Amino acid sequence: MINWKIEETGFNADKIASNGNKYLVGNGYMGIRGTLEEYEKEHLVAVNLAGIYDKVGDGWRESLNAPNGLYTVIRVDEEEYRLPNSDPLEHLVSLDYRRALFSRKTTWKTPRGKVTVESERFASLSEPHLLTMKYTIKADFHADIELRTGIDGDVWDINGPHYDNLSLIEDDGLIKVIGTTHEKGDKVCVTEGCNYNFTCEKNLTVDGKRILRHFSFITKPGISYEITKFISVYTSVDTPDFEKEAKQLVKECIEKGYAFLKDQHVKKWEEKWSVSEVVIDGDDDAMEALNYSLYHLHSIAPRHSESLSIPARGLSGQTYKGAVFWDTEMFMLDFFLYTEPRVAKTLLKYRIDTLNGAKEKARSYGYDGAFYAWESQEGGFDACSDYNVVDVFTGRPMRTYFKDKQIHISSAIVHGIMRYFELTQDKSILEEGGAETIIECAKFYYSLLLKKVNGQFYELHDVVGPDEYHERVNNNGYTNRMAKYTFDMAVKIIDSLDGFNPEAAKHIRDMYPVDDLKKKFSDASSHIYIPQPDKEGVIEQFDGYKKLEDVSVETLKSRLLHEKEYWGGAYGVAAHTKVIKQADVVTWLTLFPEDFPEDILLKNWNYYEPRTEHGSSLSACMYALLACRCGMPEKAYPYFMKSATADLTGTGKQWAGLIYIGGTHPAAAGGAYMTAINGFGGVSFENGELKAKPQLPPSWNKLSFKIIHLGKLYQVEATKEGAVIKECK
């Protein structure tokens, strides 16, 4: 069994950035990096907020980090003790990921004796605007202590500063910092109140962008001196009364106390684990890695909203601009569909509610329908730059085509909406904008179709598939297959309008010439070019792929002149070779294994696997899933572990050219879950029935998990002999 805790002893300054990701706590509204209380912005401290963004000058628009209400530092006998400046005698950080509690314990040796600080904190799962911390000091001598704690408004930004104005205020015993954003004048309000169990001298100061309480006292040897901090975070986007509500929440929490709030928080986490915990008999390492991955998904689920999605780096900071990618629909969605369908609906409602942004993007390129943002921020605004990578040799931005050529993004939204409907039969997702979204995505692909003179097929040219190392290719197999799927789903929606509520059906029929669209989409689906296996059974990833240089990943690495050199683009080392960034054809075959016999699936796995660099954390799970489909769980296992340990090991790619892209990997976490449940567990849904045909790795004796299907909760026990599925009463 696992103990639900990860920890690290000793202090290593080189791990500050990676530990910020590894020890993250969050509640969907905010994510707090696993940094220490005395850290400042150069240590990548972040209280990252969901769904609010700002742009400064020519910098990229990015999500906001709130002022840091955890800031705390001590002086002992007038000397400051803090990491990383003061070497500790002992140091321990830990994360109880069953209960989402981060803690640290650090001991320093001073000239007169030892001083130890301990802290514990959590982002409340029962109250999304609340961050709470308990901080304790103990010395083995009569130490002269000055404890300084408050709110640090000097925020870490990648492309900031985002606050044009900071107000630092004392109000009725509470302190607060209100930042006004540069672009829209949004307000971010952090309010702090505290309890403490000792007698002291105290005063309040403003030090630059910090407002700090000072507590001065003399310790008695062996006695613990404890302060508990209650920090609320609100924005003007949340409510016009953000200041009033922030103050009220802190006052209420001071009255309730730390122990009560912690108990409520832990109870909420236990509710989540009662459905989502996965038990693996025979492999504790895999069980720990998988449930730790699920912890991260729970920590970033936007339960406080009815229409909000999850950024590609979760809430671990501003990397990838805090933007939403196809990661959410294609890699994270299954976890929430199986364990918390209401969250899955929230994620998809975000896409439905940003349909106008997708339609505007399509119009800006001269297309019809809905072209979703590659890097989506609020309103569907596409934050992706035309120059998304920096050349390491010249320092100049490089033209990339993620924003304008990765047209497969719209089909990901269609896939997510339809998968939600199929597994829940909640027709409201279609009646409340989902049907319109699917039709608009089909119109988009229809407007892109080309047919050569005397040609038989419709084609899609000048695209970028999931393998981003090869840009502006024709007939990428994955993209064409997903366009076909989109046409099919649009036809299915039109055919099912009679089953909609009358008002929703009338709205669709008034909006669209549905009979004409059905005819067009049916024709497009029947005649779009879908690459077929060659005589060796291999499907060409895109037109001309077979003519590229066939070289190993290792050989290609040897050609790099700089470790951070970008492999793709016009001049990247991979661009003229068969080496690909991530699963492409394999992703297609994972989603639609019924397209070809199993021997074709296997031949393509064998062909593309050695030619894949896995330069994205999205890649491994697709190889794992297809390996399971081909009856190779032993080959799937290392890819499963690669996904499940992405944030435990911190070995994911940290740079794209000169751009830092570090952070957590929620898509890898979702991919690990899909591999465990859909792959090793063999879960499928046939004619409204939950089924399972397990493919367990050699070391696994049993895999146990729960799934919500059609509103009912089921327990699945999978072994090498088969599966037992029981409805939970």
The residues assigned a catalytic role are 468
Determine the Cα–Cα distance for residues 303 and 569; give it in Å rounded to an integer: 38
Nearest CA-CA partner of 601 in 622, 579, 619: 622
Instruction: Please give the structure tokens belonging to residue 501.
Output: 């509520």
Instruction: Please give the structure tokens belonging to residue 244.
Output: 């009033």
Residue type, 360: E
Determine the Cα–Cα distance for residues 44 and 139; give it in Å rounded to an integer: 29
Instruction: Please give the structure tokens belonging to residue 485.
Output: 């799927």
Burial 28-41 (b: 16+ CB within 10 A, else e): bbbbbbbbbbbbbb
Tell the residue number behind the tokens 């036809």, with chain if given. 491
Instruction: Tell me which H or E stretch contains 689.
Output: strand 689-692
CB-based burial of residue 563 (10 Å sphere; 0-12 exposed, 13-18 middle, 19+ buried)? Answer: exposed
CB 129 within 8 A of CB 249: yes
Q: How far is CA 561 from CA 90, 391, 566, 567, in A?
A: 41, 12, 10, 11
Report the SS3 class of residue 660: strand
Instruction: Please give the structure tokens belonging to residue 98.
Output: 């069953």
Nearest CA-CA partner of 631 in 602, 666, 610, 664: 602
What residue ranges in 144-238 does DSSP mark as E strands?
144-152, 163-171, 174-181, 187-196, 201-207, 210-218, 224-235
Burial 689-700 (b: 16+ CB within 10 A, else e): ebebebbbbeeb
Determine the Cα–Cα distance for residues 185 and 77; give it in Å rounded to an integer: 43
Q: What are φ and ψ of residue 348, in 5° steps?
A: -75, -30
Tell the residue number behind the tokens 């304790």, with chain if given. 136
Count helices and strands (H / E) in the chain. 22, 28
Determine the Cα–Cα distance for residues 577 and 604; give it in Å rounded to an integer: 17
CB 356 within 8 A of CB 380: yes
| First and final C-alpha spacing in the chain | 26
Tell the residue number behind the tokens 């990428």, with chain if given. 476
Contacts of 416 (CB under 8 A, 6+ apart): 328, 329, 330, 333, 347, 348, 351
Determine the Cα–Cα distance for residues 638 and 644; give it in Å rounded to an integer: 10
Q: What are φ and ψ of residue 274, in 5° steps?
A: -65, -20
Cα radius of gyration (the chain): 27
Residue type, 507: H
Nearest CA-CA partner of 139 in 89, 92, 103: 89
Nearest CA-CA partner of 310 in 348, 272, 340, 268: 348
Determine the Cα–Cα distance for residues 347 and 632; give it in Å rounded to an integer: 33
Q: How far is CA 450 from CA 445, 454, 470, 539, in A?
A: 10, 12, 21, 21
Tell the residue number behind the tokens 């992703």, with chain if given. 587
